[in-house]
Amino acid sequence: MLQARQIECTRGNRRLFQDLSFRLEAKQALRVGGENGSGKTSLLRMVAGLSPVEAGEILWNEARIAALGEDYRRDLLFLGHANGLKDDLTAVENLRHALALAGTEAGAAELRAALAEQGLGAVADLPVRLLSQGQKRRVALVRLGFAADKPLWILDEPFSALDAASIGRIEKVVVSHLQRGGMALFTTHQEVELAGAQVRSVELGVA
Amino acid sequence: MGGSPGAACRAVTERDLLIAARRRSDVLTTFFFFVIVVSLFPLGVGPQPDTLRQIAPGVVWVAALLAAMLSLARMFGADYADGTLEQLVLTPQPLTLLVLAKILAHWLTTGLPLVLIAPLLGLQFDLPGNALATLLWSLLIGTPALSLIGAVGAALTLGVRGGGALTALLVLPLYVPVLVFGAGAVTASATGMGAAGHLSLLAAMSLAALVFAPWAAAMALRISLE
């Protein structure tokens, strides 16, 4: 269970949000809404442990995330604004290295199958540099399919630059993750339907 | 589940080496920078063997320092821009070890080529055989310290505007002891004294850097990602 208690975030002199509290339990998703610059990405980075928590606390299974360290990161999948792909490597190479870092071994055949499933079979062996923005995003999202052992998914604008069919496929992956007992914290500007899942939302930037 | 630190480190080094193999121009730039800077001195100073023999150790070592500096921006810069750095920080492995794996890749692609070509360049300065061998050894022992100390500077200046010049200001003073004992070893060997003392001190510096630099660089990376 993920819990945020009265956290606050300031950037320069501007207070983006304060006294923000939420709980996220198994099989639940939390959508963070708000205008550009309202602190959505800052919140997600804070929950992922990339930024320090200025006030309040963030708890994972009743323990502070900073104290958990590697044990927390083992349960976490984070997909930020940047795709985390190397332009000079192919989609398969990128995924193989990204998964090896996360502690998941995956063979080339397995990765090609996963890429083909996302409609990327034809570009699996091209340098990522040659792919379109949406294709790059989809390559990065293939990681979701190998993250069944990570209960908490934090996704920053996962659907940006995606076409409708791809959005549908990713929605299905997220829903099956939730049904397995996972949790998802995400931001998006698109209308998404996580059919059959419990989705709550929190709005930022109303202060 | 979770994977081992060893497998993750291997993945980091392998990825950086693969990228270096795809972008050979980056590696070759550093290499030829070193070759050309060293070769300019015999042309500029003129063909007096005594003078050349005297300046050779310092010239080769200063060129190695500058070549190492030149390549520091690449160590974390691209990873920072494309988001792989934040993924690296979020892996369930000790970041210190992963940073060490990156430094190893950096040394293999920039340090090691300099070590291997240096004896050949030393010939232009009419260095005797034993001094050439010492030059090779001193660079082999000393260049890892350059990559290690450089990593801290590169991590500290990550995302800072004009980071390149700042890295130079931060790192070059820290390179001074390595330069003194690296060049000192070659001079000692050329003048017929033993170089063992200099080389031991150089090895001590590399070992000390091996212990502290990855840890310091990992801390700096976390701060620059905040």
Burial grade of A62 (CB within 10 A; 0-12, 13-18, 19 or more): exposed
Alpha-helix residue ranges (DSSP H) falling in chain B: 5-22, 24-45, 49-70, 73-82, 84-89, 95-106, 112-122, 129-156, 163-190, 196-225
DSSP letter assigned to residue A132:
-
The tokens of B65 are what?
């320092």
pLDDT at residue A55, as a whole number: 87
Q: What is the pLDDT of residue A17?
A: 87
Hey, what are B184's tokens?
A: 């000192």
In chain B, residues with a C-beta closer than 8 Å to the C-beta of A105 are 3, 7
Q: Which of A41, A86, A153 to mutate to test the interface with B (most CBs of B within 10 A)?
A: A86
Q: CA of A38: how far to CAs of A12, A165, A202, B209, in Å?
A: 13, 29, 12, 42
The alpha carbon of residue B40 is apart from the nearest alpha carbon of chain A, in Å, by 34
Q: Is B89–A74 a contact, with Cβ atoms under 8 angstroms apart?
A: no
Is there a contact between A188 and A157 (Cβ–Cβ < 8 Å)?
yes
Compute the distance between CA of residue B11 and CA of residue A117 in angstroms, rounded to an integer.
25
Structure token pair of residue B202: 């150089």
Shortest Cα–Cα distance, A96 to chain B (Å):
9
Is the pLDDT at A207 greater than 60? The verdict is no
Instruction: Retrieve residue B26's tokens.
Output: 């980056």
Nearest to A52 among B82, B86, B226 (CB): B226
Residue tagged 């920072």 (tokens): B80
Residues of chain B neighbouring A70 (CB-CB closer than 8 A): 92-94
- Nearby residues of B160 by Cβ (< 8 Å), 6 or more positions away: B166
Q: Rounded distance, CA B147 to CA B101, Å?
A: 12
Task: Report the mean per-residue pLDDT for chain B.
Answer: 92
Question: Vertex A131, ends A178 and A90: CA angle to 5°?
Answer: 80
Positive or negative, the CA dihedral B58, B63, B68, B72 is positive
Say how many domains are in chain B. 1
Q: If chain B, 226 residues long, is cut into consecutive pieces of 10 residues, what is the mean pLDDT of each piece?
A: 79 94 92 95 89 93 94 90 92 94 96 95 91 95 96 91 86 94 93 90 96 96 90
Residue in A52, A82, A101 nearest the CB of B11: A101
A84 vs B contacts (CB less than 8 Å): 82-84, 86-87
Separation CA A46–CA A53 (nearest Å) = 6
d(CA B166, CA B169): 5
CA distances from B11 to A72, A90, A111, B23, B102 (A): 21, 15, 16, 18, 10
CB A139 within 8 A of CB A91: yes
CB contact under 8 Å between B90 and A82, yes or no, is: no
A97 close contact with B: CB closer than 8 A: yes
The partner residues of A153 in beta bridges, in order of sequence, read A77, A184
Give the amino acid at B186. V
Query: By the CB < 8 Å criterion, does A20 face chain B?
Result: no
Residues B90, A105: C-beta atoms closer than 8 Å: no
pLDDT in tens, A125-179: 999 999 999 999 999 999 999 988 899 999 999 988 888 888 999 999 999 999 9
What is the 8-class DSSP label of residue A164? H
Apex A66 CA angle, A65 and A70, nearest 5: 80
pLDDT at A206 over 80: no
Listed residue (A155, A161, A108) closest to A138, CA to CA = A161
Per residue in B117-149, pLDDT (tens digit) is: 999 999 999 999 999 999 999 999 999 999 999
State the number of CA atoms in the 13 A half-sphere of B28 facing the CB: 5
Domain that holds residue B148: 5-225
Q: Which of A70, A95, A97 to mutate to test the interface with B (most CBs of B within 10 A)?
A: A97
* Nearest-CA distance B36 → chain A (Å): 28
Helix (H) or strand (E) holding A133: helix A133-141
Hey, are the CB atoms on B87 and A98 less than 8 Å from each other?
yes
Instruction: Report pTM.
Output: 0.92
Mean pLDDT, range A24-51, rounded to an integer: 90
pLDDT for residue B1: 44
The rounded distance, in Å, linking the Cα atoms of A196 and A176 is 10
Residue of B nearest to A96 (CA): B11
Dihedral sign, CA of A155, A161, A163, A164?
Answer: positive
Say yes or no for a CB contact (<8 Å) between B87 and A78.
yes
Gap from B105 CA to chain A (nearest CA, Å): 15
Residue from B27, B90, B93, B223 to probe the interface with A (highest A Cβ count within 10 Å)? B90
Q: How many CB pairs under 8 A join A and B?
A: 93
What pLDDT shows up at residue A199? 86
Over residues B80-104, the pLDDT tens digits come to 999 999 999 999 999 999 999 999 9
Using a CB–CB cutoff of 8 Å, tell me whether A11 touches chain B. Answer: no
Tokens of B120: 């050949």
Nearest-CA distance from B223 to chain A in Å?
A: 8
Half-sphere exposure of B100 (CA within 13 A, CB side): 18
Strands A14-24 and A152-156 turn out to be unpaired
ipTM summary value: 0.89
Please give the structure tokens belonging to residue B213: 């630099």
Give the per-residue pLDDT at B5: 86
